[in-house]
Structure 1
Amino acid sequence: MTHDTPPFWETTPLEQMSREQWESLCDGCGRCCLHKLREEDTDEVLFTDVACRLLDTDTCLCTDYANRQRRVQDCISLTAEMVAEIDWLPPTCGYILVRDGEPLPWWHPLVSGTRETVHEAGISVSGRVISERKAGMLEDHVIDWPGEAPRGAFCRKRPRRR
């Protein structure tokens, strides 16, 4: 009789994950790489469709991940402590889901086995954002979708194709 071992993200607290485990929780959606504004009066986070200059807006990968914090002054390297407090990560974020004890959905690369499913499921920013180098005023780019989950985003199984 064989027993399936649960995946690490279901058994290992965020603060105890190895660097490799931690990095693999990132689904590669690129939503955290979008500029955000904070409303002064209400403290509300306003999302924009303006991406960091290092984000490849098609693949949603950082073009200089190893040096990103040196090249982009306000680039944040997430930690478990930060994830406990941050209010601007998308609800589909693997770090948020694991933090809250929720399962990873079918499109997450750790579940699907491929980074392409995050694009297929409509979770990623691919093709929907503009680089900060071309955007102009951030206030002209405020949108809602980066802070929302697309319909079916939390399905455990891949939806059937019609």
Structure 2
Amino acid sequence: MSTNKSEAVPFWESKTLAQMTREEWESLCDGCAKCCLHKFIDDETTDEVTEFLPTDHMAEDEQMVYSSIACFLLNDKTCQCSQYQKRTSLVPDCVRLTQDNLDDVFFMPPSCTYRRLNEGRGMPSWHPLLHKGKKSAMHKAGMSVRGKVVKDDQVSLDDFEDYIVLWPLDDID
């Protein structure tokens, strides 16, 4: 007699992002902290007054660049926010990613698991959910900010051009 043992399908493969519970949604965050990096829009119309103002859109002729400057609330060893529950009140520009605003959050890096699932690209092999909740595979793959950043309260944002980096655009498998 043969028994066919079927494996449970992971929730991220059996549900849409909109169908997920809050707990499931939160667990999708890979904890890379790339979203905590300062990003800048490179365009010809920015002046000294508008250069560092937040925006909720990008024009077709604009390009977003990532910097290695991270939010002062980021614990750069664990890649977690030191004030996660209060982050949006302490840092008004911090965006709380939800099922409702995911399509509008254009600045999420290509490796972001929310973005990957939303685009139909699946869970990355280094994701902590695939490694018993451990982030070591992600760090080893170089997909987190660990060891790559400086805090925004330690540098002048006027010097942001010295901190422009391409590694946040990396995405593997």
- Note the residue ranges of structure 2 that are not aligned, 5 or more in a row: 45-60
Aligned to 1:40: 43
Measured in 2, the distance between the counterparts of 1:84 and 1:13 equals: 14
SS of the residue aligned with 2:100?
helix
Q: Which runs of 4+ in 1 moved over 6 A?
A: none
**How far did 1:79 drift?**
1.5
- 1:143 equivalenced with 2:165 (yes/no): yes
Measured in 2, the distance between the counterparts of 1:147 and 1:88 equals: 11
SS of the residue aligned with 1:59?
coil
**1:6-155 alignment runs, 5 A limit:** 6-41=9-44, 42-113=61-132, 114-137=134-157, 138-149=160-171, 153-154=172-173
**How far did 1:51 drift?**
0.2
Measured in 2, the distance between the counterparts of 1:89 and 1:63 equals: 20
- Note the residue ranges of structure 1 that are not aligned, 5 or more in a row: 155-162
Which structure has the bigger radius of gyration?
Answer: 2
Aligned to 2:8: 5
The TM-score, its normalising length taken from structure 1, stands at 0.87
Counterpart code for 1:118: M
**How far did 1:116 drift?**
2.0
The TM-score, its normalising length taken from structure 2, stands at 0.82
Listed one character per residue, the Cα deviations across residues 40-94 of structure 1 (whole Å, up to 9, x for unaligned) are 3432111000000100112111001011111111000002232223322111111
- Cα pair distance change 1:128/1:71, threshold 3 Å: same
Q: Give the count of matched residue pairs.
A: 151
User: What is the percent sequence identity of the aligned residues?
Assistant: 38
Please say if residues 57 and 129 of structure 1, whose CA atoms lie closer than 8 Å, have aligned partners that are also in contact. Answer: yes
RMSD value, Cα? 1.3
Measured in 2, the distance between the counterparts of 1:9 and 1:74 equals: 28
